[in-house]
Homo-oligomer: A and B are copies of this chain.
Amino acid sequence: MQYSPLLTDLIKNLQSLQGIGAKSAQRIAFSLLSGNRGKGLALARSLADAMNGIGECSCCRNFTEEELCPICSSKKRLQEKTICVVENPADVTAIEAASEYFGIYFVLHGKISPLDGIGPEELRLDQLESLIERIECRELIIAINPSVDGSMTSFYIADLAKKHNVRVTTLAQGIPMGGEIDNMDQTTISYSFSNRRAF
């Protein structure tokens, strides 16, 4: 079906969003045009504002339009002298939702991947080092997703932190809550056995 140019553009651009297919893009475009134009204009404005205005926190590299994100602005959290290193801002959201951690974060925005040309410079590990020094970090928690590239990144960061005499820990690996043993991969099962704990 031949849409008008503006409608074709809108549907194409909606489809470029993660998880939105052709049918959803069309449904969203029609629903905005049929009486939700205010919503469409509000989204257009906040998209432009966010894309132009949001940068990185100068301390942890999480997304924010301020110099410091709300977490790094909190004296209480800085006083914990603990840094949790994560791959993405979404990981910060997930950890915050668990309400288990009270220190600050450092967001890598990726992981070391020689094939993609991503090394320590791209992840700004120099910034992590000066953060360790500045807050007199006592513990660095590595919360990087387990994978080949992830393990390489974790080892690199652990080495770097140990040079500064910081205690380095990493999240426990094993069977997740609700997980089914017969559906788990072999590595997770082996790991869970060799790291079994007293009940």
Contact = CB atoms under 8 A, between A and B. Distances in A.
A124 interface: no
B65 A5 contact: yes
Interface stretch (A28-36, A141-149, A151-159, A175-183): A28-36
Interface string A33-75: 1101101111111111111111000000001111001100000
Interface residues of A, number: 59
A70 B2 contact: yes
Contact of A51 (B40, B46, B48, B53): B40
Contacts of A63: 3-4, 7, 30, 33
Given A54-B4, A96-B1, A88 B30 contact: yes
A138 B36 CA distance: 36
Contact of A6 (B2, B28, B65): B65
A9 B50 CA distance: 9
A93 B26 contact: yes
A26 to B, nearest CB: 7
Given A6-B53, A34-B88, A27 B19 contact: yes
A195 interface: no
Nearest to A34: B109
A89 B30 contact: yes
A47 B46 CA distance: 11
A13 to B, nearest CB: 4
A108 B17 CA distance: 30
